[in-house]
Homo-oligomer: A and B are copies of this chain.
Amino acid sequence: MADPIGTAGETGPTAGVSRLPAHTTMAIRPFMAQTPGAALISLKPEIEDLRHRLEGKEDRSVLELKALPAGCADRRRDNACAACGARPLSVCASMDDADLARLDALAEHLTLNVGDTLIRADDPARHVFNITSGSVRVYRLLSDGRRQITGFLFAGDFLGLATGETYAFSAEAIEPVTACRFRKSEYRALIRETPALETALLERATHELAAAQNQMLLLGRKTALERVATFLLEMPSHDPARPGPQGRVHLPMTRAEIADYLGLTIETVSRVLTRLKTQGLIRLVSLTEIRIERPEALRAVADGEA
């Protein structure tokens, strides 16, 4: 296991810290596209360097206009390259340039490889993190090694907001990750000075709570078949950087990680995937790529209507 980088002022050997241009610090992704209008608006793939899009004021306002669903004037959202998936940029309606500049001044930028640790449970909680690209697993362990992955985080997600002396969970990169982090003390000052950020975080937190309730329903009451079906249907909307073609699900995590997320074993996950394939609901394009052939049927299975 790699050294953690969130425990002290220094970085572990596997993580790099660097400064990026202004206005690339925060990647605030929208909530899952529950309401139709709130879907993520991706930049056109042919635009290579996304940063250029935001340097002129006029471009940003265009993005905002496009990304703004009716009645969501105060909502934050981001934009990521659908092709490369890397380094999404924040487009934050209520945060002005001064806000963004302040954020950037306080942020450290991190680069992590697969398996690197962002946060280790029980370490002193000194930082707040924001993922800017890649995917992260968040989990808790029992003393005998049983693991429950409580969530996968993607570009735009926050980590370590909870108050408390130590982290109650661990977080590791499952893909190459870029992130930025703030010292807790500076984060608190930031919150005080940037009400728009606090509003955004509260809205985010309440949505995550709703998602957590969904996951509790899954873990407490759904069968293995229903769990996997639910997972496949909800996975794409969790990863705004890779919306991908309709019905195509990219799984950056291993079977073991899926199992630990769904409260199952790898064998059961594998069997259920095979069963869904045999029934013609999905197709296993590759190990990390699944195609949903009959979304309605899969939805019926996921909701226990089979």
Contacts and interface: CB of A to CB of B under 8 A. Distances in A.
Given A35-B164, A148-B220, A220-B262, A212 B210 contact: no
Interface in A156-192: 161-165, 168-169, 191
Contacts of A201: 202
Nearest to A169: B213
Interface stretch (A2-10, A16-24, A136-144): A136-144
Contact of A213 (B168, B195, B303, B304): B168
Contacts of A214: 140, 168
Interface of A: 34-35, 138, 140, 142-144, 146-148, 150-151, 161-165, 168-169, 191, 195, 198-199, 201-203, 205-210, 212-217, 219-222, 260, 262-263, 303-305
A263 B209 CA distance: 18
Q: How many copies does the complex hold?
A: 2
Contacts of A207: 162-163
B216 A150 contact: yes
A209 B202 CA distance: 12
List 9 A-B pairs, minimum CB-CB distance, nearest first. A220-B263, A219-B219, A212-B212, A205-B205, A148-B217, A150-B213, A162-B206, A148-B220, A146-B221
Nearest to A158: B206
Contacts of A263: 219-221
Given A142-B222, A147-B221, A212-B215, 14 more contacts: A140-B213, A146-B222, A146-B304, A148-B216, A150-B213, A151-B213, A161-B202, A162-B207, A163-B207, A169-B213, A191-B199, A191-B202, A195-B195, A198-B198
